[in-house]
Structure 1
Amino acid sequence: MEEMGPLGKERPPMTYKEYATWPEGKRCEVLDGNIISMAPSPTPEHQSISLQLSIEFGMYFRGKDCRVLAAPIDVYLFEDHRKGWMDENVRNWVCPDLVVICDKNKIQKNRIVGAPDLVIEILSPATAKIDRMDKRIAYERAGVKEYWIVDPANQVVEVYLREKTGKFELRGVYSRDDTVPVHGWEDLFIDLRNIFE
């Protein structure tokens, strides 16, 4: 999906340096220099699910080493916080709905640098294909350990886990009356009755 520039020429790859010059509140997500999403503001249902997930994960991780962050926060998926990088070289960033990060060094002043441990995306009609395909592949490639796709319309959660092969495998589909185990933490379970109203 190559965006066109002036006179129909292909637009040069988007960089974070260019993105940082945009007006506040105008947001996009970029993979391989191509804008993949410029979604409008989320719906109340989306925000309610995001809030409830933030509460559940936030309560569990309070006082622990891992941090929970909710959108909007830009994530440099393929950069390494231990190495030098410059915004003009960054051509991949996403803004997941919720992330869990256990390496606090990845949390920079105004972004996350490196793959989160857990990523949650809440589907909307405008983002469903991107979340299921483009971003799922990017999260897999970046080394995310666990990926949840939350489907508000059907009130289900799909859980993907990173296998030894480096590929995601669908480990379960959970409905509104189920409790979802969070695989990186043996004693963490999310009751979906608290998530879907």
Structure 2
Amino acid sequence: MEEFDALPMDERHLCELIDDMVLMAPRPGVLHQSILFNLSVALAPFFKGKTCRPFSELEVRLNKDIFVPDISALCDPEKFSEQRYEGAPAIAVEILSPGSMRNDLFTKLNKYHLAGEQEYWIVSPKSKTIIVHTFWKREVSEYTLEETLASGIFEDLKIPLSDIFPKAP
């Protein structure tokens, strides 16, 4: 952890600390960034004026691991340090890319669950789907392009997937 924290910020922008190993992710491409932007725009009005707030690419510390979810909904103001959020987000969102797929689908899924995460969204640009793991309900839901995602922890949070995935030119 100390070595990770000693890295200059610009060098660790896309680095995570998982099981005492620093993992570097390639910079996201255009499609990834487009989906990230659309999801952020969809989430912002829902969280406006609430205690929970959405963040993009903010470090989250879970035990000895440090993740950088694409988007996280963070609800406890006491858990913010200058550098990161110290604890499990209410929602963590990961947009799959070839370089991070294994970690997102397996390692992070399990570590988020064990750390008390409430909900984990896995976004697949390829299939234009979002899989929502609502851990406390032990539910897994898959939403397709024609459907509207419904959060299992925020009752009124609903997002049409057609608003998230970019239209083909």
- 3-state SS of 2:54 partner: strand
- 3-state SS of 2:98 partner: coil
Amino acid at match of 1:124: S
Whether 1:185 and 2:154 are equivalent positions in the alignment is yes
* 2:39 pairs with one of 53, 66, 77: 53
Spell out the pairing of 1:80-95 with structure 2 (5 A cutoff).
91-95=64-68
Asked if the contact 2:146–2:161 (Cα under 8 Å) also holds between the matched residues in 1, the reply is yes
Distance in 2 (CA, whole Å) between partners of 1:171 and 1:142 is: 18
Distance in 2 (CA, whole Å) between partners of 1:151 and 1:30 is: 23
* 2:20 pairs with one of 5, 27, 33: 33
The unaligned stretches of length 5 or more in structure 2 are: none
Matching residue of 1:103: 76
Matching residue of 2:130: 157
Matching residue of 1:174: 143
TM-score between the two structures when normalised by the length of structure 2 = 0.91
Superposition RMSD in Å:
1.3
Greater strand proportion: 2
Asked if the contact 2:134–2:153 (Cα under 8 Å) also holds between the matched residues in 1, the reply is no
The unaligned stretches of length 5 or more in structure 1 are: 1-14, 79-90
Query: Stretches of 4+ moved more than 6 A in 1?
Result: none
Q: How many residues align?
A: 164
Identity of aligned residues (%): 36
* 2:114 pairs with one of 141, 151, 162: 141
Q: Deviation digits for residues 61-81 of structure 1, max 9, x if unmatched? A: 11111111001x211112xxx
TM-score between the two structures when normalised by the length of structure 1 = 0.79
Asked if the contact 1:158–1:170 (Cα under 8 Å) also holds between the matched residues in 2, the reply is no
- 3-state SS of 1:184 partner: coil
